[in-house]
Structure 1
């Protein structure tokens, strides 16, 4: 514990700073602020020896274990009843947006030669739920921290841009308030970014955006399970170590969803879990952001940026089509 404490304290303190930034600038989601702060800290040469030395054990625990616990608690935000209320057309089109973005981004990433698990991780972040999905998928397939760095940087950049770009397109595209909320929920990456973008259109738009977004979040479990099954098959063929069929944190996430759906939990339990979940993810995403070296973006050249921007346009375009169908 003595080895872990310095890194955990730094990550927790940074999450507090990110929260203060969010209070000062409410349009900036807390988790986006946490990732961005981590990225900034990771670029400071004077801090790198500490990040790679005494702070490293605690930061790694924050980026991995605390992230998984936060994802489990994220399940308590989801109710199958709320999702069912969207209707089968909205649910079907939302699932289609996730699948098409996921497959399309992986295909483009591989075609452009992104290394290792990067195509998979970029696809997870853009199609499902941002940096949290990248961390979850990375943990499931045992991706290295370096492989997660570029996808996290890309999804943070594009998700932040979406907060400004989508509202500017709202009226030119002729969308009603509720349609705008649907578009934001289906096309923006992180839950906090969805809230920041959709709230300008009113409470009805925000409510629709959140439910549609959480429907995408629910896709995290099956997408991880399917990916792990494919990875296990490949590892058998390569005679390497096999990942678990269903990672424990994914099972916990599903259990939390079912608990919130079928058990009438007190409001104080849900509110408390939401606070803890947000705090854990803020700590974890700061630690994940601090592992990013922007020089690695340059090492993949234009390829990673093209994949990220194309995936962003793809998910936004498909989401717009889903709104029109709905």
Structure 2
């Protein structure tokens, strides 16, 4: 038994290293899913924590590829967009949950994960609304599944629709669930898409604090949503890059490392989609989440196509 575990661990580690070495985020995700479905996840108890830390580290390092002025301009430009998209998603999600007779807490978790930042939003909202472990597990499984799908299908869809990089970056930041897949999809599309996507996505993620805090108050929960300190690290990285231009080569190298670590993060996300996790996905929960995802995908695409939601690529200069 121990030899089998060691054998699986070896291949798991080898696949992780291979994923980090590639420049294509989707490959990391696909390798992770393949390993999980073929061998299972021998490090299941720790991969969730590792992927979270790896994601935070990679986001901070990606900050070295941007100027602080650009980060702030994109962030402020997207506040109204992210608020509107979250409001639309929350209303639609809760109505869908009621229509399909999904448990209230599960409906809130599925909707929050779609509206804000995937698994991070679910993790923050679960204690705030006193959700059960089972409800949290189902919501995580559904959102992670769709999040993985988003990374794979969004770049080809963007090219098929003839979207420019700025439009695609904004679209992916609004419509894809989790930060890792947003960055992965946008990075495949181009540097302008990636620059806009990561900042808009982090702005979108900030809305979890007022939402979780309000939910905790309504449910009389003592839990307070944890502050995501890596967001401060992202801003500091951009500030350092701006204040110390002489270190440009170093900052570029750190940003490149961040891109590779993001691919490693996506491998771990894929490795979490084991058969055991997929079995947790209920038909109604999946149906509600898919319909909700289609709604926000089409609404955001329409708003961007009509110029209602717009961020100029010149903002990155």
Number of residues of Structure 1 aligned to a counterpart in Structure 2: 275
1:33 is matched with which residue? Answer: 30
Matches within 5 A, 1:139-288: 139-142=123-126, 144-170=136-162, 180-188=164-172, 189=176, 190-196=182-188, 198=189, 206-235=190-219, 237=220, 240-242=221-223, 244-247=224-227, 250-251=228-229, 253-263=230-240, 264=244, 266-267=250-251, 270-271=254-255, 273-274=257-258, 277-278=261-262, 280-288=264-272
Structure 2: tracts of 5 or more residues without a match: 127-132, 177-181, 313-317
Structure 1 residues 13 and 63: alpha-carbon distance in aligned structure 2, compared to 1, 3 A threshold:
farther
Structure 1 residues 137 and 303: alpha-carbon distance in aligned structure 2, compared to 1, 3 A threshold:
closer
1:317 is matched with which residue? Answer: 302
- The C-alpha deviation readout for 1:58-102, integer Å capped at 9, x for no partner, is 3132113431342243123126963634895x6555333322222
Structure 1: tracts of 5 or more residues without a match: 125-132, 199-205
User: 4+ runs of 1 displaced by more than 4 Å?
Assistant: 5-11, 16-20, 90-93, 322-326
- The C-alpha deviation readout for 1:162-197, integer Å capped at 9, x for no partner, is 222221221xxxx6xxxx11111001232121122x
2:28, 2:213 → 1: CA distance?
30
2:199, 2:191 → 1: CA distance?
13
- The C-alpha deviation readout for 1:220-248, integer Å capped at 9, x for no partner, is 5522322332243234x2xx451x4434x
Q: What secondary structure does 2:78 align onto?
A: helix
Q: What secondary structure does 1:296 align onto?
A: coil
Are 1:110 and 2:111 an aligned pair? no
1:134, 1:309 → 2: CA distance?
15
Normalising to structure 2: TM-score of the pair? Answer: 0.70
Range with bigger deviation, 79-88 or 270-279: 79-88
Structure 1 residues 268 and 92: alpha-carbon distance in aligned structure 2, compared to 1, 3 A threshold:
closer
1:135 is matched with which residue? Answer: 119
- Which of 57, 61, 85 is matched with 1:76 structurally? 61
Q: CA deviation at 1:269?
A: 6.2
1:36, 1:322 → 2: CA distance?
37
- Maintained 8 Å contact 1:18/1:37: no
Structure 1 residues 60 and 299: alpha-carbon distance in aligned structure 2, compared to 1, 3 A threshold:
farther
- Maintained 8 Å contact 1:94/1:319: no
Q: What secondary structure does 1:112 align onto?
A: helix
- Which of 63, 67, 80 is matched with 1:96 structurally? 80
- Maintained 8 Å contact 1:108/1:307: yes
Q: What secondary structure does 1:37 align onto?
A: helix
Structure 1 residues 298 and 18: alpha-carbon distance in aligned structure 2, compared to 1, 3 A threshold:
farther
- Maintained 8 Å contact 2:19/2:27: yes
Matches within 5 A, 1:13-32: 13-16=14-17, 18=19, 26=24, 29-32=26-29
